[in-house]
Amino acid sequence: MQKRKLGKSNLEVSVIGLGCMGMSFSYGPPKDKQEMTSLLRTAVERGITFFDTAEVYGPFLNEELVGDALAPFQGQVVIATKFGFDLSPNFDPRGMKGAPGLNSRPEHIKEAVECSLKRLQVETIDLLYQHRVDPNVPIEDVAGAVKDLIQQGKVKNFGLSEAGAKTIRRAHAVQPVTALQSEYSLWTRTPEKEVIPTLEELGIGFVPYSPLGKGFLTGKMNQNTTFDSSDFRSTLPRFTPEALKANQVLIELLGNIAERKKATPAQIALAWLLAQKPWIVPIPGTTKLNRLEENIGAAAVELTADDLRDIDSAASKIKVEGARYPERLERMTGL
C-alpha cells in the first residue's frame, strides 16, 4: 500500500489507516477479542500501518486489544492514542450518554500516558492526541506537558482532535503539531473553511475520522435502519429516520460516480478525501474483513479533476440534514 507523510513531519503511514474504536466501543457491545485480534493482524498483512485508539474507548478495552494484537509488529506499525477525559467510575461505557468530563491538566496527561504505554505494550507512543480541547486548561500548558513527554522519550508526535484554527496555532507555537484528527467527509465539510488552510500553512497532517459518515456513506442505510440503544448513532440527530431519508441524495451522488468507476460508494467517499490533499490520511473503522478489504481498495481508485468537479458541483447543491452530535457533545468541538 502507498504511504503518506503527515504534514511536514517524518511520520509516514499507510495512505489509509484503521480506526479501532468500534471494536470495543460506541457501536454496540464490544466485539469478540479473538476475532478483532485476527482482523487487526490481517490489516497489517494487507499493508495498513496506522492504527487509531484512545483510552476512553471501552474505557481502556480498546488500547488493550490493540496492544495485544499489534505486539508482534512493533517497529512496523504506527499506533495513535488519545488523552483528555476524566474516566470517573460513573462514566457509562455503553456510549457517550454518561460522557465523562474533560481533563487535560498536565499531571493528568502524564498519568494517562503511563497507563496507555502499559496497555499498548510499547515504550513510546507514536502519536498522542488531545482528544478534545479542555477549555479549563490553556492549550499552551497541554502542549508543554506533551513536549516534556517527547523529551523524555515517552511520546514521538503531538496531535490535536477537533481543535479550531486558533487553538492549533497556539499549540503549534509551543510544540509542533504533527496531525489534527477531526471529522471530515462528504457530509461533514466544516474543516474546509478555516482548519484545512491553517494545517496547510503550518505543515500539519490531517487524519479524518468517520470518513464514511459513521457508516452512512457506504450506502447501506435508509430511513428504516434502526440502531440499538448501545449504538452511539441512536443519539445522533443525523441518524433519525427523517435525516437518513433526506440525506439519501448524497448516496445517489456517490453511487453514480461509483458505477462509472466500477467501485463502491464507500470507496468513492474515501478516494474523494485522499484527492483533497496529499497529507490527508483517513481512518475508516470496521469490524468486518470484507469492509476492511473494500476500504483498502479505495486507495487504488483514481478520481480525475473532472470527477472531483462533478462531485463538488453536485455536493454543493445538497444540504445535509441533522447536526452531527447532540448539542452538549457539539460544544466540545471546534474550540
Helices first, then strands: H and E counts in the chain:
12, 9
121 Cβ contact list (under 8 Å, min separation 6): 67, 68, 71, 74
**pLDDT of amino acid 90:** 56
Q: What is the pLDDT of residues 69-110, one digit of tens each?
A: 999 999 999 999 999 999 866 555 444 444 578 999 999 999
Q: What is the mean pLDDT of the chain?
A: 94
Q: What is the pLDDT of residues 243-286, one digit of tens each?
A: 999 999 999 999 999 999 999 999 999 999 999 999 999 999 99
Copy the grid coordinates of residue 297. Answer: 481498495
pLDDT at 50 over 70: yes
Q: What is the structure's pLDDT at 95?
A: 45
Helix, coil or strand: residue 127: strand
pLDDT band at 320 (very low <50, low <70, confident <90, very high): very high
pLDDT at 315: 92
Please report the pLDDT score of residue 328 as a whole number: 84
Q: What is the pLDDT of residues 153-192, one digit of tens each?
A: 999 999 999 999 999 999 999 999 999 999 999 999 999 9
Active site residue 209: no
List the 155-161 sheet strands across, edge first.
Answer: 18-19, 50-52, 78-83, 125-130, 155-161, 177-183, 205-209
**What would the mean pLDDT of 224-229 be, rounded to a whole number?**
92
330 — pLDDT class (breaks 50, 70, 90): confident
Q: Which one of 27, 57, 129, 184 is the catalytic residue?
A: 57
Q: What is the pTM of this model?
A: 0.95
Highest CATH level, class, for 3-212+277-303: alpha beta
pLDDT for 87 equals 87
> How far apart (Å, rounded) are the C-alpha atoms in residues 279 and 288?
27
Q: Is the pLDDT of residue 229 over 50?
A: yes
**pLDDT given for residue 94 in this prediction:** 45
Can you tell me the mean pLDDT for 310-329?
A: 92
Per-residue confidence (pLDDT) for residue 296, from 0 to 100:
98
pLDDT at 166: 98
**Which pLDDT score is estimated for 93?**
46
Q: Residue 20 corresponds to which cell in the numbers above? A: 479501532
- Give the 3-state secondary structure of residue 136: coil
If you average pLDDT over residues 302-327, what whole number do you get? 94
Mean pLDDT of 213-226: 95
Cβ atoms of 279 and 211 within 8 Å: the answer is no
C-alpha cell at 216: 452512512
